[in-house]
Chains A and B, each alone.
Chain A
């Protein structure tokens, strides 16, 4: 399945996922604590651009792509901030929010999904003392990952069937049959897991 991961061999790519997550989290936290002022906005924007240029993830192109993904939240933030707070705070707050989002995005841009899933499983291991089964959690994540394309296909089938019958398509008339098909798939999936010796 598509993910945000961009293959590469920059220093961020080579860094182990745990320390990388910690470093980026610290960076995001640092940015989030800056005051809402012009100088802070300028410093944040410069630092973020520098990190993207030096991280070996594709520089400006990747940065503008990441910003484009969050254009709607940005539009809403800018509009409401301009309306209530005035230009300096509006610009500084928006820059800070966008910088935090795109800096955090570096984690998934430079780390494979499988490595991050492993990180989650490792992170959950101490919770086993509380009765949490980290292997079961990993199984759940993997099964979900493989179920998404299946359900996307089932959704397409339901929509095609409705179109073939010339029925009008509304959210409700789509969701009811889709839900029944999905629940039946869940039963089959349970049987398939049991057949593979998973209890």
Chain B
């Protein structure tokens, strides 16, 4: 393990260690793979995909900043011309299209999810995970996406919001699934989070956090 530099030498943006680089890269790739053809589509041939599920998982497992970074990395690769969004979409075109705001919302959403799921550096609980995934993975993404879509298509805000309701059932399903997956992971593979959670009895004790986060 590399000892962290003294606070005085630390830059405002923490330098990423190799562990962070590989975890961020793997989650960016995971979101991409969840959108690949032959991958998982909840309803076949309709553009509802598992990619927002990947965004929810990135925020919930990597935490706010690394989760947001992994989504940003994926979007950067999309921007330079890789067809990594569901349905083989990609290129800078998607960032001037109607869904541009939803993609930027993924980044903000991952931050919100991470902040809520890991609030107080405590172990993720079922209700807190679900609230985090709903707030960050649906509300936040819509809150960024709908105004941008309205501006791009010039359809008034209320009508745009109304048409976005089509996607709510699918997104709710993904939120439920994401919560289930995170809770399973907490029990079955807690080291995947790379965090040390305070013991249940040690209420109010200073949490002993893992060196990586």
Contacts and interface: CB of A to CB of B under 8 A. Distances in A.
Specify the main secondary structure of chain B where it touches its partner. helix
B120 interface: no
A4 B94 CA distance: 13
B211 interface: no
Contacts of A120: 76, 80
Nearest to A114: B80
B21 A97 contact: no
A96 B67 CA distance: 34
Given A5-B81, A155-B39, A171-B53, A80 B160 contact: yes
B76 A141 contact: yes
A61 B81 CA distance: 19
Contacts of A165: none
B155 A176 contact: no
Contacts of B47: 72
B22 A143 contact: yes
A167 interface: no
Specify the main secondary structure of chain A where it touches its partner. helix
Contacts of A141: 73, 76-77
10 smallest A-B Cβ distances: which pairs?
Answer: A108-B81, A131-B11, A116-B80, A189-B22, A101-B93, A186-B26, A108-B91, A190-B22, A144-B25, A147-B29
Interface in A132-175: 132-133, 136, 139-141, 143-145, 147-148, 150-152, 155, 171-172, 174-175
Interface string A67-79: 0011011001100
